[in-house]
Structure 1
């Protein structure tokens, strides 16, 4: 399933709402940690596409079916494709910066993430394993457990 995203910051909220509405048929309850993490990942990837490319994008979700939520192979995939061919590049964000940590958060929260060329642009994706042990909160993970990311931020352009 996919949603077309206009290059407008208001689209981030629409993308979160759309993703939440898709959870019901997947066997993922809206109030469980996986759902909350999924919505945060959608928000971060769509924000990066909208803010850093200024071009339309496509949000894609791959959710498990209701019969498979506990299966070991049940993986949730969030993918945002845009028409900018520029690769995600690390950048430093100062302690007072209000942005620039999106992909660092994705790295903390997702089981896997990456990007690949797609047509004239690229696709940035992340995956969550349905049966993974609950991950620590982004605040805890970013602030305490991942010193390698303390002074780095990533920009998806």
Structure 2
């Protein structure tokens, strides 16, 4: 899904994710769906707010992995060279917790530079190889 550099895109990304999950038989009230939607919300928000660049959201569901593993993988790629950095939010801060939430909710997460930008990813479920 292509994401414009607009905070309104976060809601559209959540709706897209819920629709894709429902299409695979994962109900929106299931814990997996709620967690995936929250992770997408955080990663898309970070891309839109901190880079000011358009981004591409990708969600790989278990049946889409070549090896058939049960992990759900979320990726957000953007054209910014700005490094994602976890921040330490203080008690009443209204932002600065995005990557901390991703780290706490995802089984694995990371990022890597790509030609023309970077890709940040996270996974829920069994580890995939490759």
TM-score (norm 2): 0.89
Preserved contact between residue 79 and residue 118 of structure 2 (Cα < 8 Å): yes
2:43 aligns to what?
A: 45
Distance 2:109 2:22 in 1: 24
1:98 aligns to what?
A: 94
Aligned length in residues: 124
Residues 13-48 of structure 1 show CA distances to partners (whole Å, capped at 9, x for unaligned) of 000000101012323222210000000000000000
Distance 1:124 1:61 in 2: 12
Q: Does 1:63 align with 2:44?
A: no
Moved over 3 A (4+): none
Kindly name which structure, 1 or 2, has the bigger radius of gyration based on alpha carbons.
Answer: 1
2:72 aligns to what?
A: 76
Distance 2:25 2:70 in 1: 11
Q: Provide the secondary structure at the position in 1 that maps to 2:13.
A: helix
1:126 aligns to what?
A: 122
Residues 51-71 of structure 1 show CA distances to partners (whole Å, capped at 9, x for unaligned) of 0001100000001239x9xxx
**Once the 2 structures are TM-superposed, how far is the Cα of residue 94 of structure 1 from its aligned partner?**
1.9
Runs of 5+ in structure 2 lacking a partner? none
Distance 2:121 2:32 in 1: 16
2:5 aligns to what?
A: 7
1:85 aligns to what?
A: 81
Cα RMSD over matched residues? Answer: 1.8
Preserved contact between residue 110 and residue 121 of structure 2 (Cα < 8 Å): yes
Runs of 5+ in structure 1 lacking a partner? 131-157
TM-score (norm 1): 0.74
Distance 1:59 1:108 in 2: 20
Preserved contact between residue 26 and residue 64 of structure 1 (Cα < 8 Å): no
